[in-house]
């Protein structure tokens, strides 16, 4: 037997569970960490907006397949994470990073920004205009992505290209033993309806935890010449 007060408390809790998002919901699978790599820009470009194809007021766009990258940043309970900074960086169409010590700097596309930032809205949404990634050395095609909340980086990962045959042998992607975790990092590039010929769209949702990452644990950040 329960008294009236206990019954009211239990009724209130059940009501809350029916209206509070994520209270009883199964946690979403978090997006897996992937190394930052050694070529996060060591000197940020003058333009760090979300359009990587045009630098400042230039009228000459970068070379490559125009791609519209969208997605949401969500908590493990499925709640949108607003006011989070999403960063992306990638090689240009010649396979060159904007890092000053990157390989083949003489082939750098000076019109490609190489790095961008976007502040998520109240729905956790982000958007970038960039190019479809190309192969980089022995690596399969990928875009680096990081999420920051305040001054803390919550996640560093990479977006891989569905259908790229090099995915099967990529050392970093396949460092994830769980097949589902690997599949979550692979995104499909599709023709963008109603756009200029050849433009693509790709969607990549990001599920983050509550604990910031420890950058000291990411050995992949070390430049190749400094590795032992």
The domain ranges of the chain are: 26-213
pLDDT at residue number 22: 47
pLDDT at residue number 10: 40
pLDDT at residue 1 is higher than 70: no
Architecture of domain 26-213: Sandwich (2.60)
As a whole number, mean pLDDT of residues 12-24 equals: 42
pLDDT at residue 6 is higher than 50: no
* Integer angstrom CA distances of residue 210 from 23, 60, 159, 191, 221: 16, 41, 21, 35, 23
pLDDT category at 227 given cuts 50, 70, 90 is: low
For the segment 81-92, what is each residue's pLDDT rounded down to a tens digit?
999 999 999 999
As a whole number, mean pLDDT of residues 99-104 equals: 95
Sequence-separated (6 or more) residues with CB below 8 Å from residue 59? none
Q: Where are the beta strands (DSSP E) in the chain?
A: 66-75, 85-89, 115-119, 125-131, 142-149, 152-161, 186-187, 190-191, 200-203, 206-208
For the segment 157-191, what is each residue's pLDDT rounded down to a tens digit?
999 999 999 999 999 999 999 999 999 999 999 99
Lowest mean pLDDT among 5-9, 145-149, 176-180: 5-9
pTM of the entire predicted model: 0.87
Of the two residues 23 and 28, the one the predictor is more confident about is 28
pLDDT category at 66 given cuts 50, 70, 90 is: very high
């Amino acid at each position: 037997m329960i008294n009236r007060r206990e019954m009211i408390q239990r009724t209130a809790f059940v009501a809350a569970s029916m209206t509070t998002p994520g209270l009883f919901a199964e946690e979403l699978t978090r997006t897996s960490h992937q190394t930052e790599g050694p070529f996060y820009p060591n000197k940020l470009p003058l333009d760090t907006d979300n359009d990587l194809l045009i630098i400042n007021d230039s009228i000459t766009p970068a070379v490559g397949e125009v791609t519209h990258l969208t997605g949401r940043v969500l908590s493990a309970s499925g709640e949108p994470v607003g006011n989070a900074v999403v960063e992306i960086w990638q090689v240009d169409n010649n396979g060159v990073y904007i890092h000053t010590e990157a390989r083949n700097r003489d082939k750098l596309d000076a019109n490609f920004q190489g790095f961008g930032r976007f502040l998520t809205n109240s729905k956790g949404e982000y958007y970038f205009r960039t190019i479809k990634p190309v192969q980089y050395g022995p690596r399969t095609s990928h875009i680096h992505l990081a999420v920051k909340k305040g001054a803390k980086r919550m996640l560093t990962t990479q977006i891989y290209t569905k259908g790229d045959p090099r995915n099967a042998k990529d050392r970093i992607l396949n460092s994830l033993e769980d097949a589902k975790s690997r599949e979550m990092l692979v995104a499909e590039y599709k023709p963008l309806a109603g756009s200029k010929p050849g433009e693509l769209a790709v969607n990549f949702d990001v599920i983050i935890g509550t604990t910031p990452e420890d950058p000291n644990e990411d050995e992949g950040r070390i430049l190749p010449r400094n590795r032992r």
